[in-house]
Chain A
Amino acid sequence: MTRDRIISRFIDVALLATLAIGMWMVFFYAPIESEMGIVQKIFYVHVPLAWNAFLGFGVVFVSSFRYLATRDPRWDARALAAAEVGVLFTTLVLITGPIWAKPVWGIWWTWDARLTLTLVLWLIYAGYLLLRRYVESPERRAVLAAVVGISGFVDVPLVYFAIRWWRTQHPQPVIGGGSDSGLDPRMAATLWVCAAAFLLLFVALFRRRVAIEQMRRDVDVLRDSAEGSAA
């Protein structure tokens, strides 16, 4: 078994264990919130998904810079993988948010700063993935994608600080939000375990996607050499 496979297996086992513990904590350990009731437990997937989506776009940002500096296609593959998982997680943030909002606010959606900027973030990186699909030349595609990946990251701090800078329908921060914020210790413990589970999920999906991109490059090289020989 190669070193990579051992690491992947370890991550998978840790992911399943953390996910199982996290789900047990969500349903049997964390208390039911007094105002919102049981629906508040959506929080334990909604928030970790958002945090890890930010992480994904951070990886796109760093990898894109590294690609432009080195022109090493492995950095481009990392940026692509992180963008895909980031878009998946942001999609789920945009689905779980309205499912939570409807019973609590009475509406699925409102155009407040946090929600709108999150939608814009999704559009930027969905556009990034579309761009990659429609540019033929690999070098040109990687450069254009890197530029979008870097510039699109501007929206991440805006999404994060939106609820601190503006009055929004979206709740104010419960972690790092100042003296008025805070969580019940059992809620906080559950949130951290769920955040760890989604971080491991991010890493597991990211590694798989990067490996696939490596295989795709191998196939492309093979095809090019076959076509070159045939010509």
Chain B
Amino acid sequence: MSWLIAAYACVAIAVLLYLARLVKLRRELSRQLAHRPRIQSISDGRA
């Protein structure tokens, strides 16, 4: 039984870790996109 639980636990943990990585990436990119007006205003000011 412990082998079975180990196998299923590995699958669950790995998928959750990958999902967490995707969420983190998405948050980081959303944050960067949210700064868009500021980046554009800086570049407009320089131009």
Contact = CB atoms under 8 A, between A and B. Distances in A.
A118 interface: no
A38 B33 contact: no
A185 to B, nearest CB: 22
A45 B11 contact: yes
Interface residues of B, number: 27
A229 interface: yes
A39 interface: yes
Given A88-B15, A209-B22, A219-B33, A226 B7 contact: no
Residue with the greatest number of chain B CB neighbours at <10 A, chosen from A102, A227, A230: A230
Contacts of A53: none
Contacts of A46: 7
Interface in B31-47: 32-33, 36, 39-40, 42-44, 46-47
A157 B8 CA distance: 27
Interface in B4-37: 4, 6-8, 10-11, 14-15, 18-19, 22, 25-26, 29-30, 32-33, 36
Given A92-B10, A226-B39, A230-B42, 10 more contacts: A95-B10, A96-B11, A99-B6, A100-B7, A103-B3, A205-B22, A212-B26, A212-B29, A218-B33, A229-B46
Interface of B: 1, 3-4, 6-8, 10-11, 14-15, 18-19, 22, 25-26, 29-30, 32-33, 36, 39-40, 42-44, 46-47
Interface of A: 38-39, 41-42, 45-46, 49, 84, 88, 91-92, 95-96, 99-100, 102-103, 201, 205, 208-209, 211-212, 215-216, 218-219, 222-223, 225-230
